[in-house]
Structure 1
């Protein structure tokens, strides 16, 4: 089984309008991107999927394990929007520390940190202090930290925000290379981020799922006269405009 949201309701304050209300969604294996404007509810969905918060009603599960169970946290990894360097820690020490927090022994976490950094092509920078890394490199350290304990589900919240085009390209290649072995769910508000490279596209707005389909099906929403290279953007605009 994969990531499942079932009739989820979530409000940040009891008196405020809920961000999600009765939202249900099944995300298949592979690489899914959550598209939607800022404030659409994407980050809230990922926080619930990461067990950072719990729905006030409904359930979230992965491989049949409820997000409220301790076992769930060992199955998933979450990379929030902002990865903060830790003063004094190298990239390897940072990743090993996260592995230890996830329940690994110190020795295993230290060894596996090297493998995780290799997967994101940062093995040459593993002994560099995290505060000396670029923003794009620090994001990749965040992915390595999320992968160090062999999670089955990787959740990425707006990971390419603030990256230049070259950093985005490297990051996109890294994420795509992982999707064959780890289920990846990534949120973004920028249609340029991977829509044509994902397996599944889910469009969210105002806490509602507007469309969740294969990339091919998503692209069919585009205007027939869309300019080359703008098909994904056209499809996204059409889906948003239909609601």
Structure 2
């Protein structure tokens, strides 16, 4: 089921809209959401995760609406959310924190505990299940965040700048993990980094100043680069040609 925004508007301050009548549908598979700082990417994903509610319009996963009380619980179980800062819960082990996230989403304690083992195995953290979560590295903590999203059978997982602050090895492990999991779960990954797009993603959306500047396949995105640009610079060149810079 696609995640869909229909005529959505949102503002943090009156008269200064971040989104104004936005209509957008994320395709299945793995999508990268590119855009400069201040473009509205985090706001868009927060609306998709139902952390924020639109002032007008609808955010839907299939027939489930994020603001409809009848659907909200199921919607939040089907849409996983990994914000920029994933924090450890004091005194909890890695498995306990994963299970706690499932319990918060409505699973019984026994069901959450049982599913936590599978979720940690999916993100390659099974061997660290008994470690205190505050002892994890930055990359491991991001993977625990994904496990927290998967434990309640999310169909779409939203990741906001998931590789920010990670070293090259950690970023590589994270990209490999997303590529593996995207066979069964759709991902939307927000970033302003353009490297390695073809290795992970199927679709590209460029977001700039609250509007969609481009939506299409990775191949179509690369085709926006001028002729003669070296292969390793095509993504950066295409991106720079679509955005107006940081707000």
1:81 corresponds in structure 2 to 84
Residue 240 of structure 1 aligns to a residue whose secondary structure is: coil
Matches within 5 A, 1:57-68: 57-68=56-67
Matched, 1:13 2:13: yes
The ranges of structure 1 where at least 4 consecutive aligned residues each deviate by more than 6 angstroms after the TM superposition are none
Verify the 8 A CA contact 2:4 2:60 in the aligned structure 1.
yes
2:220 corresponds in structure 1 to 217
Verify the 8 A CA contact 1:46 1:155 in the aligned structure 2.
yes
Q: Which residue among 223, 229, 234 is the counterpart of 1:231?
A: 234
Q: Offset at 1:95?
A: 0.2
Q: Offset at 1:59?
A: 0.8
Residue 99 of structure 1 aligns to a residue whose secondary structure is: helix
Distance 1:195 1:158, change over 3 A: farther
1:186 corresponds in structure 2 to 189
Residue correspondences, number: 241
Q: Distance in 1 between matches of 2:231 and 2:170?
A: 24
Matches within 5 A, 1:135-154: 135-154=138-157
Matched, 1:160 2:159: no
How big is each residue's C-alpha offset from its partner over 1:32-69, in whole Å with a ceiling of 9 and x where there is no partner? Answer: 11100011000000000000111101111011211113
Verify the 8 A CA contact 1:31 1:179 in the aligned structure 2.
yes
2:43 corresponds in structure 1 to 44
Verify the 8 A CA contact 1:196 1:232 in the aligned structure 2.
no
Q: Distance in 1 between matches of 2:111 and 2:196?
A: 34
Verify the 8 A CA contact 1:195 1:201 in the aligned structure 2.
no
Q: Distance in 2 between matches of 1:26 and 1:52?
A: 18
Q: Offset at 1:180?
A: 1.5
Q: Offset at 1:194?
A: 3.5
Verify the 8 A CA contact 2:36 2:243 in the aligned structure 1.
no
Structure 1 length-normalised TM: 0.95
Backbone CA RMSD of aligned residues: 1.4
Q: Offset at 1:177?
A: 1.0
Q: Offset at 1:241?
A: 5.6
Residue 19 of structure 1 aligns to a residue whose secondary structure is: strand
Verify the 8 A CA contact 2:178 2:200 in the aligned structure 1.
no
